[in-house]
């Protein structure tokens, strides 16, 4: 009977766990929809803005603007975007694996999210700033991060700035992506164009007034600010999607385990009853 008690306790424990994971799944699903809508709403704008700025870059001398300066070697600033909490599958693991591949001697880090901060501290990587993760990213808050990156690039502390984040593809797929933002890089050149297949490529040249230099001077910093904002939106959508899928999988596994334990309990109970019947029958035969 002690074995039956252990099985009953385990069934109760697994059922309680299933209730918790189910609740977390529902919460993540409700947040996921809003986060996905926010991330997808700005994707087309980000692509077109990138294409316009790349056209500007190609129309002028790249040395005429400090944010377009190509530098060989030097240090790289990586903006690492992770989550504050776990229970979201392999989302953080995949991004942190990419972060670990950077050369410690040539890489500085900015962390957004506690998981990334803890990882960098554990590996003793050089982190020059960490920013709190926003539940709902806002443009003014993200602008503080991008302004800090621009300052470090302009004062030659670093020669390259890269965003490392879990790129949202769909509910089941989130891809760790390193996107160089300084100096200016075309989205199409780094293999992210599959996100924007619905948009046709720009054909022909563009005309800019009053001049390409004047337009670039105005919109290039704004583009950097918006890109950091857009990647944070995508990162949050990735987090909620991954957590919803992970919690659904955990709930399904818990329900399957309850079925197996219930079957094991019934078998043990039936075996116990059968043994009692045999003992009674054996005793009856011995007395007769």
Domain containing residue 11: CATH number: 1.10.287
Q: Are residues 257 and 205 in the same domain?
A: no
pLDDT of residue 196: 44
Q: Are residues 129 and 201 in the same domain?
A: yes
Residue 202 scores a pLDDT above 80: no
Question: Is the separation of the CB atoms in 279 and 60 below 8 Å?
Answer: no
Q: Are residues 82 and 212 in the same domain?
A: yes
Residue 54 scores a pLDDT above 90: no
Q: Are residues 15 and 95 in the same domain?
A: no
pLDDT of residue 194: 43
pLDDT of residue 204: 52
Q: Are residues 194 and 94 in the same domain?
A: yes
pLDDT in tens, 241-254: 999 999 999 999 99
pTM above 0.95, yes or no: no
Higher pLDDT among residues 53 and 193, named by residue: 53
Helix (H, G, I), strand (E, B) or coil at 143: helix
How far are the Cα atoms of 39, 76, 108, 168, 224 from residue 230, in angstroms, in the given order? 7, 21, 22, 11, 10
Question: Is the separation of the CB atoms in 240 and 35 below 8 Å?
Answer: yes
Q: Are residues 76 and 213 in the same domain?
A: yes
* Cα atoms in the Cβ-side hemisphere of radius 13 Å centred on 100: 11
C-alpha dihedral, 187 to 188 to 189 to 195, nearest 10°: 80
Question: Active-site residue among 88, 163, 164, 233?
Answer: 88
Q: Are residues 7 and 149 in the same domain?
A: no
Q: Is the peptide bond before 183 cis (omega within 30 degrees of 0)?
A: yes
C-alpha dihedral, 129 to 132 to 137 to 143, nearest 10°: -30
pLDDT in tens, 147-165: 999 999 999 999 999 999 9
pLDDT of residue 27: 93
Question: Is the separation of the CB atoms in 224 and 146 below 8 Å?
Answer: yes
pLDDT of residue 14: 94
Question: Is the separation of the CB atoms in 4 and 269 below 8 Å?
Answer: yes
Nearest to 120 by CA among 142, 92, 148: 92
Tokens 């302009």, residue located? 154
Q: Are residues 195 and 226 in the same domain?
A: yes
Question: Is the separation of the CB atoms in 142 and 232 below 8 Å?
Answer: yes
Q: Are residues 264 and 128 in the same domain?
A: no
Q: Are residues 210 and 263 in the same domain?
A: no
Number of folded domains that form the chain: 2
142 is catalytic: no
Q: Are residues 71 and 38 in the same domain?
A: yes
Q: Are residues 140 and 114 in the same domain?
A: yes
pLDDT of residue 56: 78
> Any idea what the CATH number is for the domain that residue 57 is in?
3.40.1380.10
Look up the domain containing 89 and give its range: 25-245
Q: Give 77's strand partners.
A: 108, 161
């Amino acid at each position: 009977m002690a074995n039956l008690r252990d099985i009953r306790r385990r069934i109760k424990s697994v059922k309680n766990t299933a209730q918790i994971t189910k609740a977390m799944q529902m919460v993540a699903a409700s947040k996921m929809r809003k986060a996905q809508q926010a991330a997808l709403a700005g994707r087309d704008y980000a692509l077109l803005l990138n294409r316009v700025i790349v056209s500007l870059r190609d129309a002028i001398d790249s040395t005429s603007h400090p944010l377009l300066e190509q530098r060989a070697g030097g240090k790289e600033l990586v903006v690492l975007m992770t989550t504050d909490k776990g229970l979201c599958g392999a989302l953080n693991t995949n991004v942190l694996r990419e972060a670990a591949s950077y050369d410690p001697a040539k890489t500085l880090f900015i962390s957004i999210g506690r998981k990334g901060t803890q990882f960098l501290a554990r590996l003793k990587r050089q982190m020059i700033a960490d920013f709190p993760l926003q539940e709902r990213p806002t443009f003014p808050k993200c602008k503080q991060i991008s302004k800090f990156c621009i300052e470090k690039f302009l004062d030659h502390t670093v020669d390259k700035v890269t965003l490392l984040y879990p790129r949202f593809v769909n509910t089941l797929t989130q891809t760790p992506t390193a996107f160089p933002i300084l100096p200016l890089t075309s989205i199409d050149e780094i293999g992210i164009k599959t996100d924007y297949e619905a948009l046709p490529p720009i054909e022909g040249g563009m005309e800019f007034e009053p001049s390409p230099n004047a337009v670039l001077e105005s919109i290039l910093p704004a583009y950097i600010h918006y890109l950091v904002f857009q990647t944070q939106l995508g990162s949050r959508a990735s987090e909620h999607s991954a957590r919803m899928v992970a919690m659904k999988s955990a709930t399904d596994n818990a329900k399957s385990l309850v079925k197996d334990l219930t079957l094991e309990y019934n078998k043990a109970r039936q075996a116990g009853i059968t043994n009692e019947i045999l003992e009674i029958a054996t005793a009856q035969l011995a007395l007769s």
